Amino acid sequence: MKKLLTGNEAVARGAFEAGITFSAAYPGTPSTEILENIGPYKEHITAEWAPNEKVALESAIGASIVGARALAAMKQVGVNVAADPLFSFAYTGSNGGIVLVSADEPGIHSSQNEQDNRNYAKFAKIPMVEPSDSQEAKDMVKSAIDISERFGTIVMLRMTTRICHSKGVVEFYNREEVDKKPYIKNPKKYATTPAFARGMRVEIEKRLDKLREFADETDLNYFEWNDKKIGIISSGVAYQHAKEVFGDSASYLKLGFTFPLPMKKIRKFASEVDKLYVIEEVEPYIEEQIKAEGIECIGKDKIPNIGELNADIIREVLLDDKRDVIDCDTSDIVPRPPSLCAGCPHRGLFYELAKKKNIIVTGDIGCYGLGVADPLNAVDTIICMGASVSAGHGAQKALNRYNDDMRAVAVIGDSTFFHTGMNSLLDIAYNRSNTVTIILDNRTTGMTGHQDNPGTGYTLQGMPTKEVDIPRLCNAIGIDNVKVVNPLKLEEVKGTLDWALSLDEPSVIVTRWPCVLKRHSELDKEEFGDYVGLCKVDKDKCIGCKKCIKTGCPALHFDKKSNSVVIDKVQCVGCEICMQVCPVDAIEKVGE
* Residue 31 confidence (pLDDT): 97
Confirm if 460 and 451 have CB atoms less than 8 A apart: yes
For range 467-493, the mean pLDDT? 97
- Residue 477 φ then ψ, to 5°: -70, -25
Write out the DSSP string of 523-588: HHHHHH-S---EEEE-TTT-----TTGGGT-TTEEEETTTTEEEE-TTT-----HHHHH-TT--EE
Task: Give the C-alpha separation, 49 to 266, whole Å.
Answer: 40
Evaluate if residue 260 carries a pLDDT over 80.
Answer: yes
* Residue 437 confidence (pLDDT): 98
User: Smallest Cα–Cα separation from 218: which of 274, 147, 166?
Assistant: 147
* Residue 325 confidence (pLDDT): 83
Percent of the chain with pLDDT over 90: 94
Confirm if 67 and 21 have CB atoms less than 8 A apart: no
* Residue 335 confidence (pLDDT): 80
Confirm if 228 and 277 have CB atoms less than 8 A apart: no
Q: What is the CATH number of domain 534-591?
A: 3.30.70.20
Task: Give the C-alpha separation, 193 to 430, whole Å.
Answer: 29
User: Smallest Cα–Cα separation from 163: which of 57, 277, 240?
Assistant: 240
- Residue 84 φ then ψ, to 5°: -60, -55
User: Smallest Cα–Cα separation from 83: which of 126, 124, 22, 33?
Assistant: 124
* Residue 330 confidence (pLDDT): 85
Give all strands of the β-sheet with 381-382 in edge-to-edge order.
381-382, 359-363, 407-413, 436-441, 507-512, 481-485
One CATH from 3.30.430.20, 2.40.10.10, 3.40.50.970, 3.40.50.720 for 2-217: 3.40.50.970
pLDDT tens-place string over residues 67-112: 999 999 999 999 999 999 999 999 999 999 999 999 999 999 989 9
* Residue 323 confidence (pLDDT): 86
For residue 471, say if its preceding peptide bond is cis, omega within 30 degrees of 0.
no
pLDDT tens-place string over residues 167-202: 999 999 999 999 999 999 999 999 999 999 999 999
Same fold? 2-217, 534-591: no
Distances (CA, A) of 71 to 59, 96, 100, 101, 409: 9, 10, 6, 7, 38
Mean pLDDT of the chain: 96
For range 513-517, the mean pLDDT? 95
- Residue 407 φ then ψ, to 5°: -115, 150
- Residue 532 φ then ψ, to 5°: -70, 135
For range 125-132, the mean pLDDT? 98
Evaluate if residue 360 carries a pLDDT over 70.
Answer: yes
pLDDT tens-place string over residues 432-461: 999 999 999 999 999 999 999 999 999 999
Q: Structure pTM?
A: 0.94
For range 532-538, the mean pLDDT? 93
Helix, strand or coil for residue 165?
helix
Amino acid (1-letter code) at residue 338: P
For range 490-502, the mean pLDDT? 98
Amino acid (1-letter code) at residue 378: A
- Residue 189 φ then ψ, to 5°: -90, -40
* Residue 499 confidence (pLDDT): 98
* Residue 326 confidence (pLDDT): 87
pLDDT tens-place string over residues 298-356: 999 999 999 999 999 999 999 999 888 888 888 888 788 889 999 999 999 999 999 99
Confirm if 340 and 347 have CB atoms less than 8 A apart: yes
One CATH from 3.50.50.60, 3.40.50.920, 3.40.50.80, 3.30.930.10 for 221-319: 3.40.50.920
* Residue 332 confidence (pLDDT): 83
* Residue 592 confidence (pLDDT): 65
For range 154-158, the mean pLDDT? 98
Evaluate if residue 276 carries a pLDDT over 90.
Answer: yes
One CATH from 3.40.50.720, 3.40.50.300, 3.40.50.1820, 3.40.50.970 for 346-528: 3.40.50.970
* Residue 213 confidence (pLDDT): 98
Confirm if 389 and 433 have CB atoms less than 8 A apart: no
Task: Give the C-alpha separation, 395 to 356, whole Å.
Answer: 17
Q: Where are the domains of the chain?
A: 2-217, 221-319, 346-528, 534-591
Percent of the chain with pLDDT over 70: 100
> Minimum mean pLDDT among 210-214, 414-418, 557-561: which range?
557-561
